[in-house]
A = this chain, B = another copy of it.
Amino acid sequence: MGGDFGPRVTVPAAMQALASHSQLHLLLVGDPDKITPLLAKADSAVTGRLQVIPAESVIASDAKPSQAVRNSRGSSMRIALELVKEGHAQACISAGNTGALMGLAKLLLKPLDGIERPALMTVLPHQQKGKTVVLDLGANVEADSAMLVQFAIMGAVMAEDVLAIANPRVALLNIGQEETKGLDSIRDAAAILKASTEINYIGYVEGNDLLTGKTDVLVCDGFTGNVTLKTMEGVVRMFLSLLKSQGEGKKRAWWLKLLGRWIQKRLARRFGHLNPDQYNGACLLGLRGTVIKSHGAANQRAFAAAIEQAEQAVRRQVPERIAARLEAVLPKSD
């Protein structure tokens, strides 16, 4: 029910995901009056793996998270998370109120042993055709050194077990590469990570290396992560829109216009992997269950990508693997 468009986007995205993943089953939690009409044209091969779970209310996207959590009984978001808690579903995907989702997820699914607070993680494509795990993207506006270390461990598990990067490089986002730079929390986390034999810690990385592939895991507090990711998205969107508008000059000959468009298409294909739509879906890591937060503004393709991310996290047993790694690492670093 959530996000800027609600079922108009999430229902077609659900059918798209079901069509491309034959093992996938989806429970659509929300207002049946709004969801059911959108299923009318669906193929029975798809609707057979889809069930509508009615919910009385929806948490508003602008509701204050603490209030939303208090008044959440009967809401689509809470019911979806309860389905995960009770084992009826293995993951919850939402485009709704981020703060409420994090609060409710923490309340209902509980953090893993050794995790103080869950973190929002996403996987970004980089220039070397590989991928970088980035966290926290905004689950926690502040993070002390212990939390940064926990984020680093969770990120390393994601990189190793989901992206299949052997011995993934882990870096802290900072404002310089010298050890003396930055905030106390970052310097203290660096000291702990440096001493750990379980984490391949490579030092500080600066904002300009976000997309260069210098590291496999990039760790920061949620305020910095959110600002950084949104800055990147803003610049990428601006370039893509400039590329698009570039083909629309008035004075050029038709054959020049055609050629121009052809070259721009090639450029857009090359840049397209950085389009925010393609990596939509931030994973709330550190809980006893999988929770994926989609952009509120996600379109059908982007929301389908979020569903696919959930499917992958479940298949790769991300929570279980993080729990196992935490057990191996944390006692030693105490």
Contacts and interface: CB of A to CB of B under 8 A. Distances in A.
Given A227-B175, A267-B246, A212 B183 contact: no
Contact of A238 (B212, B227, B228): B212
Nearest to A228: B231
B230 A208 contact: yes
Interface stretch (A149-157, A258-266, A284-292, A304-312): A258-266
Given A180-B64, A242-B271, A235 B211 contact: yes
Copies of this chain per assembly: 2
Contacts of A260: 263
B226 A175 contact: yes
Interface in A244-295: 246, 256, 259-260, 263-264, 266-267, 270-271
A146 to B, nearest CB: 19
Nearest to A61: B178
Contacts of A188: none
A243 interface: yes
A138 interface: yes
Contacts of A264: 263
A180 B100 CA distance: 13
Contacts of A127: 238
A244 to B, nearest CB: 12
Chain A: interface size category: 35 or more
Nearest to A173: B227
A330 interface: no
Contacts of A263: 246, 259-260, 263-264
A232 interface: yes
Nearest to A229: B207
A231 B232 CA distance: 6
Given A175-B138, A260-B263, A207 B182 contact: no
Contacts of A230: 175, 206-208
B266 A246 contact: yes
A210 interface: yes
A239 interface: yes
Contacts of A175: 138, 141, 222-223, 226-227, 230
Given A208-B230, A209-B234, A210-B234, 17 more contacts: A141-B183, A142-B183, A173-B227, A175-B227, A175-B230, A182-B223, A206-B226, A207-B228, A207-B231, A208-B237, A210-B231, A212-B238, A223-B224, A224-B227, A239-B271, A246-B266, A263-B263
Interface of A: 62, 64, 127, 138, 141-142, 173, 175, 178, 180, 182-183, 206-212, 220, 222-224, 226-239, 242-243, 246, 256, 259-260, 263-264, 266-267, 270-271
Q: Which 8 A-B pairs have the closest CB atoms?
A: A207-B230, A208-B234, A207-B231, A175-B226, A208-B230, A235-B235, A207-B227, A231-B231
5 contacts: A206-B226, A207-B228, A210-B234, A224-B224, A246-B270
